[in-house]
Amino acid sequence: MVARKLNKMIAEHPTLLRNKGGGSRPLLVILDRNADLITPFQHASTYQALIDDLLTHKANRVEFVVTQDAGGKRPKQIPKKFDLDPDEDPFYNAHKFQPFPEAIESNGVELQEVKTREQEVRSKAVGGGGETSIMPDPMANAANDLATAVDSLPALLDQKKQLEMHTSILQAVMNEVAARDVPQFYELESSLATGSYKNDLGQAKKDVIALAGDPSKGNVEDKIRLVMVFCLATAAKSADIDEVTQAMQKGVESMEGVDRVAREKVQVGIKAVQYLKQLRSMHMIPSMADMMTTEVDSSAGAGLSSFMAKATTQATGFLAKATDRVSSLLGKIHKHHATRVVENLCEMKPGTEDEDFLYLDPKVKGEVDVAKLRTMTRSPVREVITFMIGGGCYAEYQNLQMVATDRRSVSYGSTELIDASQFLAQLGQLG
Amino acid sequence: MLAFNEDYGNNDTDNTEFTLPPAGSSHNQWKILIYDAPCRSIISPLLSVSQLRRRGVTLHLLLHSDREAIPDVPAVYFVCPTRENLARIAQDCGKRLYGRVHLNFVTKLDRELMEEFAKLVVQTGSLDLVASVHDQYLDYVCLERHLFSLHKPNSYVSYNGSGATEQMIEQTMTDIAYGLFSVVATLGQIPVIRCPKVRLPLFRKCRDSSILFSDTYSTLFSVNSF
Q: What is the CATH number of the domain that holds B42?
A: 3.40.50.2060
Give yes or no: residues B16 and B69 share one domain.
yes
Give yes or no: residues A202 and A282 share one domain.
yes
Task: Say yes or no for a CB contact (<8 Å) between A390 and B159.
Answer: yes
Residue A283 domain flag: yes
d(CA A425, CA B5): 33
Give yes or no: residues B49 and B116 share one domain.
yes
Neighbours of B160 (CB within 10 A): 24
Residue A61 domain flag: no
Strand partners, B98: B70
Residue B191 domain flag: yes
Compare CB distances from A426 to B154, B181, B190 and report the shortest one's residue.
Answer: B154
Give yes or no: residues B52 and B85 share one domain.
yes
B213 touches chain A (CB under 8 A): yes
Residue B150 domain flag: no
Give yes or no: residues B133 and B39 share one domain.
yes
Structural contact between residues B101 and B5, judged by C-beta atoms closer than 8 angstroms: no
Give yes or no: residues B123 and B166 share one domain.
no
Per-residue pLDDT of chain A (431 residues; tens, 9 = 90+): 666 777 776 666 655 555 554 556 888 888 888 888 888 888 888 888 888 888 888 878 888 887 765 555 666 778 888 888 887 888 888 888 888 888 888 888 999 999 888 888 877 766 554 444 444 555 666 677 777 777 778 888 888 888 989 998 998 888 888 888 888 888 888 888 877 666 677 788 888 888 888 888 888 888 899 988 888 887 777 888 888 888 888 888 887 777 788 888 888 888 888 888 888 776 555 544 444 443 333 333 333 344 444 444 444 444 444 444 444 444 446 778 888 888 888 888 877 777 778 888 877 766 667 777 777 777 778 889 999 988 899 989 988 888 888 888 899 999 988 888 889 888 888 87
Query: How many domains is chain B built from?
Result: 2
Chain A nearest CA to B87, separation (Å): 28
Residue B151 domain flag: no
Residue B161 domain flag: yes
Nearest to A122 by CA among A157, A91, A96: A157
Residue A225 domain flag: yes
Residue A210 domain flag: yes
CA atoms in the 13 A half-sphere facing the CB of A326? 34
A281 touches chain B (CB under 8 A): yes
Residues in chain B within 8 Å Cβ distance of A356: 196-197
Chain B nearest CA to A121, separation (Å): 29
Residue B112 domain flag: yes
Residue A64 domain flag: no
Give yes or no: residues B125 and B40 share one domain.
yes
Distances in whole angstroms, Cα of residue A170 to Cα of each of A24, A176, A319: 40, 10, 9
Window A:34-53, CB contacts with B under 8 Å: 34-35
Burial label for A88, CB within 10 Å (0-12, 13-18, 19+), is: exposed
Q: Residues with Cβ < 8 Å from A360, sequence gap 6 or more?
A: A3, A4, A7, A367, A368, B192, B193, B194, B195
Query: How many domains is chain A built from?
Result: 2
Structural domain of A272: 195-291
Give yes or no: residues B118 and B172 share one domain.
no
Strands B147-149 and B141-144: antiparallel
d(CA A248, CA A409): 41
Residue B147 domain flag: no
A427 touches chain B (CB under 8 A): yes
Element (H, E) at A332: none
Give yes or no: residues B115 and B162 share one domain.
no
Structural domain of B72: 4-141
Distances in whole angstroms, Cα of residue A158 to Cα of each of A154, A164, A393, A400, B6: 6, 10, 31, 32, 25
Residue B21 domain flag: yes
Give yes or no: residues B117 and B202 share one domain.
no
Compare CB distances from B180 to A6, A59, A426 and report the shortest one's residue.
Answer: A6
Q: Percent helix, strand and coil across chain A, each rounded to 5?
A: 60, 10, 30
Give yes or no: residues B132 and B163 share one domain.
no
Residue B148 domain flag: no
What are phi and psi for residue B150, nearest 5 degrees? -85, -5
Structural contact between residues B11 and B76, judged by C-beta atoms closer than 8 angstroms: yes
Give yes or no: residues B125 and B172 share one domain.
no
Chain B nearest CA to A29, separation (Å): 5
d(CA A365, CA A185): 49
Residues in chain A within 8 Å Cβ distance of B148: 411-413
What separation, in Å, do the N-terminal and C-terminal C-alpha atoms of chain A show? Answer: 25
CATH number reported for the structural domain that contains residue A10 in this entry: 3.40.50.1910
* Buried-state track A271-290, b at ≥16 Cβ within 10 A, e below 16: bbbbbbbbbbebebbeebbe
Burial label for A146, CB within 10 Å (0-12, 13-18, 19+), is: middle
Q: Is A46 left (phi over 0), alpha (psi -120 to 50) or beta?
A: beta
Give yes or no: residues B109 and B22 share one domain.
yes
Residue by residue, DSSP assigns A259-296 as -HHHHHHHHHHHHHHHHHHHHHHTT-SPPHHHH-----
